[in-house]
């Protein structure tokens, strides 16, 4: 999944960096509040998606002594930082500029440059969004869920951020175009400033959704119910387990999680698995000799302990078979 996210973010940053320059040229040529808002929008997107790249890089660092489970959640910290940037910088500045334009409107001069900028922006933003859509489709297929469910559940806030920002950028271009047309038809610059307000509201909405998605992971989100059911089925159907409890399965990153559970082995079933006719004969032979009996019990107890370790390894292998993303499994044997 990380590969899809990274390629989508790189495409988004590249597209927005180019579009930012083009939109500022369009603003300088026309003085349009709508184009200035769009330029600010693209500046915010470029900066925020750059933060997402930082998050991806930080989250891929290997575990160390201070972070034995790794740095996977760094991805969500930088995702949250990016979302806050969209809200306060992208939406805040855009809304402020729109309000100022409504209070003190000024004449706007459009030319072919204005429409060339909008058309170019629409095409490039569309390309970036297509890359993001393909990335989401690929990751949703790998997760075994629909595209809609993958986005709705916010399984990867990074790629969701790129997809939503690109979608908001395309919507912003459409809104700016409509308001510019209305300004040209009516001669009222209020429509131009209204475009700035609408773009600001779109950015604020996107930011709030992304903030909530990243918050879920930072506050330790549980693994999806269907995956939990598969893992619990492994515990419930394992032959030597009498019971299990204290089950937990929580996300470490977008494609890794931690599983913990207390398990109670059935000692009789463990004994049945390792006891042979030779063991029974040895036990009978040692029954009349205390020292021989102690030695036999000690040797058999050691084999029981080894069998418990073997059973735990077997359970972990079964869990990873049904849930490959379970990178950390902690099973505590209880009496």
258 DSSP β-pair partners: 250, 328
251 and 197 in one domain? no
169 and 304 in one domain? no
Asked if 86 and 199 count as a contact pair (C-beta separation under 8 A), the reply is no
Per-residue pLDDT reduced to its tens digit, 168-203:
888 888 888 898 888 888 888 888 788 888 888 988
Choose among 24, 18, 44, 48: nearest CA to 36: 24
What's the total number of domains in the chain? 2
Range of the domain at 129: 2-218
CA distance 129 to 167: 7
153 and 48 in one domain? yes
CA distance 241 to 250: 23
Which of 189, 218, 247 is the C-terminal boundary of a domain?
A: 218
**Average pLDDT, whole number, for the chain?**
83
pTM of the predicted structure, to 2 decimals:
0.73
Which of 218, 247, 276 is the C-terminal boundary of a domain?
A: 218
SS3 323: coil
Pairing mode of beta strands 326-334, 241-253: unpaired
Per-residue pLDDT reduced to its tens digit, 76-127:
898 888 888 888 888 888 888 788 878 887 777 777 888 888 888 889 888 8
271 and 199 in one domain? no
256 DSSP β-pair partners: 253
Tokens coding 83: 């979302």
- 268: domain CATH number is 3.30.70.1350
Asked if 1 and 139 count as a contact pair (C-beta separation under 8 A), the reply is yes
Question: In the prediction, which pLDDT does 154 show?
Answer: 65
CA distance 317 to 324: 9
CA torsion through residues 24, 28, 34, 40, sign? positive
């Amino acid at each position: 999944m990380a590969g899809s996210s990274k390629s989508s973010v790189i495409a988004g940053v590249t597209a927005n960096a180019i579009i930012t320059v083009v939109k500022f040229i369009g603003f300088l040529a026309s003085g349009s509040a709508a184009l200035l808002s769009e330029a600010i929008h693209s500046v915010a997107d470029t900066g925020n998606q750059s933060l997402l790249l930082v998050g991806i890089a930080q989250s891929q660092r290997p575990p160390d002594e201070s972070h034995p489970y790794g740095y996977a959640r760094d991805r969500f910290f930088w995702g949250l930082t990016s979302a806050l940037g969209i809200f306060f910088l992208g939406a805040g500045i855009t809304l402020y500029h729109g309000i100022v334009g409504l209070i003190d409107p000024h004449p706007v001069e459009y030319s072919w440059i204005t429409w060339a900028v909008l058309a170019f922006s629409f095409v490039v933003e569309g390309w970036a969004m297509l890359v993001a859509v393909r990335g989401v489709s690929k990751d949703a297929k790998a997760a075994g869920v629909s595209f809609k469910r993958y986005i709705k559940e916010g399984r990867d806030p990074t790629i969701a951020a790129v997809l939503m920002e690109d979608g908001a950028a395309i919507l912003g271009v459409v809104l700016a175009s409509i308001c510019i047309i209305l300004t040209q038809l009516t001669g009222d610059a209020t429509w131009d400033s209204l475009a700035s307000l609408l773009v600001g509201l779109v950015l604020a909405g996107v930011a709030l959704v992304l903030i909530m998605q990243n918050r879920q992971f930072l506050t330790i989100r549980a693994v999806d119910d269907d995956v939990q059911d598969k893992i619990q089925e492994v515990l419930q159907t394992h032959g030597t387990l009498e019971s299990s409890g204290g089950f937990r399965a929580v996300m470490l990153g977008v494609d890794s999680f931690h599983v913990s559970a207390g398990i109670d082995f059935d000692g009789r079933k463990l004994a049945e698995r390792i006891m042979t006719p030779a063991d029974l004969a040895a036990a009978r032979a040692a029954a009349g000799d205390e020292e021989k009996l102690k030695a036999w019990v000690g040797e058999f107890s050691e084999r029981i302990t080894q069998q418990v370790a073997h059973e735990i390894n077997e359970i972990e292998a079964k869990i990873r078979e049904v849930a490959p993303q379970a990178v950390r499994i902690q099973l505590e044997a209880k009496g």
